[in-house]
A and B are shown apart, each in its own frame.
Chain A
Amino acid sequence: MPLGSDEVKRIAHLARLALPPDTVDAYARDLSSILTFVEQLEAVDTQGIQPMAHPQESKQRLRPDVVTESDQSARFQSLAPRAEMGLYLVPKVIE
């Protein structure tokens, strides 16, 4: 299915991706060609076939609900672009 530039902008916003305006047409062309390519799946008869999410199809293992990690928040927060007093800083959300 060919995608127009408005559709590409909508998808980019859903995915939280800023696209430079002069690249939108190229993305529209590339995404359309990929979607056209995958649309050959439509013609496949999959009546009664169970979807396969995963190769092993094993059940999730359970483990005892006990603490296994030590507190490393200071180390992990040292990787953040901006953090203070144990908090990650972002632009103001509530006016």
Chain B
Amino acid sequence: MNLHEKTLAELSAALRSGEITSRSLTTHYLDRIRALDKRLNAVITLVEEQAMAEAEAADARIAAGRAGPLTGIPLLHKDLFCTDGVRTSCGSRMLDNFIAPYDAAVVENLREAGMIMLGKTNMDEFAMGSSNETSYYGPVRNPWDTQRVPGGSSGGSAVAVAARLVPTTTGTDTGGSIRQPAALCGITGIKPTYGRVSRWGMVAFASSLDQGGVFARTAEDCALVLGAMAGFDERDSTSVDREVPDYAAHLGASLKELRIGLPEEYFKEGLDAGVAAAVDAAVDVFRSLGAEVKSIRLPNAHLAVPTYYVIAPAECSSNLSRFDGVRYGHRCENPRDLTDLYERSRGEGFGAEVKRRIMIGTYALSAGYYDAYYLKAQKVRRLISEDFREAFSQVDLILGPTSPTTAFRLGEKADDPVSMYLSDIYTIAVNLAGLPGMSIPAGFVEGLPVGLQIVGNYFDEARMLNAAHQYQQATDWHLRVPPGFE
């Protein structure tokens, strides 16, 4: 068996038994990235020398008997987590020259757990996009069909796991940016509860929605990595001081009497028939595992996307005002005066989608429009959140499709922002409410993967991972490899 066919959990056991070394594993994955990524464009930056030095240190720790389950395992970080001494571009020309001066909390936590950073993954610019076509470094391609998009914004992170370039990657999810690419690439991805993972050192897009998370092939692997990256951090003012459960220890629980809700609103028009059939079949697997399935209502679900496209741009226009061409990042040539410096540095540094969102947010927050747009959206946000509160008084988990279609073609939605936004129609409400959500592989339509979304109540990640793991014991969709990347 090739090393890259093994799951993270299998690699962890092989490392600790001495069957393999972190150096050989790191070399293997670096070789795969160099050989295969030309076709995918999933990786922006590689740090080979640093990775080999870290692998050597990990091998020493393993030999000394001081290794944890993640010691010596390679990973890639989404390029909006700050990495000390390594470029952190956010997929933007604005930060093409930005060498982060410190590590994000997520990077720090996983480094302390002994993981080996191989580099940084491509992404939609400043995490704004659902197709990974807005990156300054060019689009990422889906390994299942390189003429199609991988989803976004964490497209590079999803593709790197799907193509077996690395066993796990980090991502962030503001409106679906972990779950939608996980679905379109046929892998497992989890966005935990808002506040579970520190946002410190994670470049901000929409601060009341952004949350870091993880991609891997299996729920078990996600459980291991999430456990190490989560936890209270006083440097993030919205980090929640609450114990992190041992997610891996809960994976084996039975699903008997688990109450599953299917939102009627997620199975209506707009959902591809093939995706619907795959999701129905997945729900049947949960029934056969002992779960009780009932229909539920989320009456304001249809308002989630318009609500998000007021709130997220409003927060983005404020957050991205820090990019001023003065302290770091891109600066225009020969500014006439300070206003010219700001306007041209930002005009040149940001791509079209980022500019659209900054302008929508600026407009929504401007005098005379604030109540009609921003305040109104915040009120509807509460209605959407209350729908979930009501639903979780009846069920333990909510299941449905992650995305209405499988991967679409490169360029297909690039000229129509609203149609692009609607590819996150089932994921966005979860961010507005701050709930945890994940996507797991649940079949194929014409050779393209389908994702099943699992939404849990606040801080109920252990139950979600348990359900996903039990499903993966009964199915093999998560083991399928894109042809050409075996």
B362 near A14: Cβ-Cβ < 8 Å:
yes
Give every chain A residue within 8 A of B346 (Cβ-Cβ): 15-18
Give every chain A residue within 8 A of B305 (Cβ-Cβ): 37
CB-based nearest B residue for A81: B331
B376 near A41: Cβ-Cβ < 8 Å:
yes
A27 near B382: Cβ-Cβ < 8 Å:
no
Chain B interface, DSSP helix/strand/loop, else mixed = helix
B359 near A12: Cβ-Cβ < 8 Å:
yes
Q: Mark A9-23, 1 if CB is under 8 A from B, else 0.
A: 001111111111001
Given contacts A16-B342, A76-B101, A91-B336, 12 further A-B contacts (CB under 8 A): A14-B362, A17-B359, A18-B344, A31-B360, A41-B376, A52-B382, A52-B385, A53-B208, A61-B234, A80-B327, A81-B329, A90-B341
A34 near B240: Cβ-Cβ < 8 Å:
no
Q: Which residues of A contact B (CB under 8 A)?
A: 3, 8, 11-20, 23, 27, 30-31, 33-35, 37-42, 44, 46, 49-56, 58, 60-61, 63, 72, 75-76, 79-82, 88, 90-93
The listed residue with most A CB atoms (<10 A of its CB), out of B234, B325, B363, is B363
Choose one: A11, A31, A39, A79; the contact of B327 (CB below 8 Å). Answer: A79
**Roughly how many angstroms separate A44 CA and B418 CA in the complex, as a whole number?**
20
24 sampled A-B residue pairs with Cβ under 8 A: A11-B363, A17-B343, A17-B358, A18-B340, A19-B347, A19-B355, A30-B356, A30-B417, A31-B356, A38-B373, A39-B306, A41-B377, A41-B380, A44-B380, A52-B379, A53-B208, A55-B432, A58-B238, A61-B234, A75-B101, A76-B328, A81-B329, A91-B335, A91-B338
Choose one: B98, B363, B434; the contact of A55 (CB below 8 Å). Answer: B434
Report B211 CB to chain A, min CB distance, Å: 9
Report B390 CB to chain A, min CB distance, Å: 15
B418 near A33: Cβ-Cβ < 8 Å:
yes
**Roughly how many angstroms separate A81 CA and B366 CA in the complex, as a whole number?**
31
CB-based nearest A residue for B332: A18
The verdict on B375 contacting chain A, using a C-beta distance below 8 Å, is yes
A16 near B339: Cβ-Cβ < 8 Å:
yes
B326 near A34: Cβ-Cβ < 8 Å:
no
B303 near A41: Cβ-Cβ < 8 Å:
yes
B355 near A17: Cβ-Cβ < 8 Å:
yes
The verdict on B383 contacting chain A, using a C-beta distance below 8 Å, is yes
Which residues in chain B, 285-302, are within 8 Å of chain A measured between CB atoms?
300
CB-based nearest A residue for B356: A30
Give every chain B residue within 8 A of A31 (Cβ-Cβ): 356, 359-360, 363
